[in-house]
Chain A
């Protein structure tokens, strides 16, 4: 991603009578064909993206850029709204492709791709991560409350355990993905992607614990280690068994190179599942909410 910001002068015009500045954040001039302009931030310039005249700026794909605030408000106030635009397009109509850009103003022969403030992919990914973290934290908070509130509906058996004892649940069923636990705690979204499977397998070979990560981000560590899960790395599984709330810290260790070691220390407890049944599930479908 490149950033283009604050470029250009309102005084620069192709002719004294031209309404617009010919300066820009990113410009395609002369013979500029079949280029891909993707995932850039372009703001506060006299023009954001400038496609030059002459008929030789064609076949370019401009997509998923944030092109906003061009020209800046002060320039509009001083020189009028026509001094620039987020996209200033002098290319032949329809000869370039605009897809999924965030932009507000367009000047050209069209068709106009602006205004468009649709969901940006980067934001969607960030929101997915944020939602995941929110869910994970919320889930953990519920469990914590259940342990200490005797009337909590979430962990009724907890009330029957004397202080200091570790409550064990009735048989429960959890559904989730088998993940490399150390990676999951550092970057949950990456750890659950298919592209991580080789890395996860390498970590598994070095003894990193596997766990079942449920859709809301809770990790269940098998009581008998990796034995039953190791052939299911990155697969979606359904496991039933009894769950133990462990309150002692846990350390996940893995070698890094020949002489280094990485330690991920988990404080505040974790869940341990004694698996009774385990089955592989089809991958979860991702659909609109």
Chain B
């Protein structure tokens, strides 16, 4: 039987003093543990552990767990999970609520990136919020991110342009939108 098999190709890669040259990476802020008030990013940042969000809904509008506070920066999830405080449909936001929780917000921002793999789940409205009416965002990249079981949409975009959303998974979102038109994205 073995003789009837076609030619077998064995690929070997020998790494002698494996020298994979990586560009010098700017110092990144590490994130993990419990976040009790909105964490605003001003530098490239990355998760080095899972994150639990317990941000109280104190401000009118969006109360994100993590928010981009500068342009031209990125957040790497490094395979970790960001978990909000609710399990749909329990605890989900009503359309009439003036204060609501979201996972990650990029509002009034240009050239910011959210890079997975990683999961954003269990938020009162949206897992990801990109732009708002009157507060546009542009050149936003969301890549390899999974938005799972958020009450409203996995990702919501308003006034967003020239952006790239690629290789993401939006699963089982909008399980508690209370009449709002929502879904994966």
Q: Do A and B interact with each other, yes or no?
A: yes
The residues of A with any CB-CB pair to B shorter than 8 Å are 1-9, 12-14, 22-27, 29-30, 42, 45-47, 50, 52, 136-137, 140-141, 144, 185-186, 256-270
- Smallest CB–CB gap between A213 and chain B, Å? 13
| A45 surroundings in chain B (CB, below 8 A) | 183-184
Picked from B166, B170, B180, the residue with its CB within 8 Å of the CB of A7 is B170
A4 to B14, CA, bound (A): 40
| A13 surroundings in chain B (CB, below 8 A) | 179
Complex contact B8–A267 (CB within 8 A):
yes
Known contacts A7-B174, A186-B9, A259-B19; is A14 also within 8 Å of B179 by CB?
Answer: yes
Q: Does B43 contact A (CB under 8 A)?
A: no
| B169 surroundings in chain A (CB, below 8 A) | 2-5
- Smallest CB–CB gap between B95 and chain A, Å? 10
Q: Could you name 30 residue pairs across A and B whose Cβ atoms are closer than 8 Å?
A: A1-B167, A2-B167, A2-B169, A4-B169, A7-B170, A7-B171, A7-B174, A7-B182, A7-B183, A8-B174, A8-B175, A8-B182, A9-B174, A9-B175, A12-B174, A12-B182, A25-B183, A25-B185, A26-B183, A26-B185, A136-B6, A257-B19, A259-B18, A262-B12, A262-B14, A264-B11, A264-B12, A265-B10, A267-B8, A268-B8
A136 to B9, CA, bound (A): 14
Q: What mask results when residues 1 to 40 of chain B are scored 1 for a CB within 8 Å of chain A, else 0?
A: 0011111111111111111000000000000000000000
Picked from A6, A46, A50, A261, the residue with its CB within 8 Å of the CB of B14 is A261
A135 to B165, CA, bound (A): 38
The list of the 3 closest CB pairs from A to B, nearest first, reads: A24-B183, A4-B184, A22-B181
Complex contact B13–A50 (CB within 8 A):
no
A267 to B131, CA, bound (A): 57
- Smallest CB–CB gap between A26 and chain B, Å? 5
Complex contact A259–B17 (CB within 8 A):
yes
Complex contact A256–B13 (CB within 8 A):
yes
Q: Does B176 contact A (CB under 8 A)?
A: yes
- Smallest CB–CB gap between B105 and chain A, Å? 18
Instruction: Tell me the B160-178 residues at the A interface (CB within 8 Å).
Output: 165-178
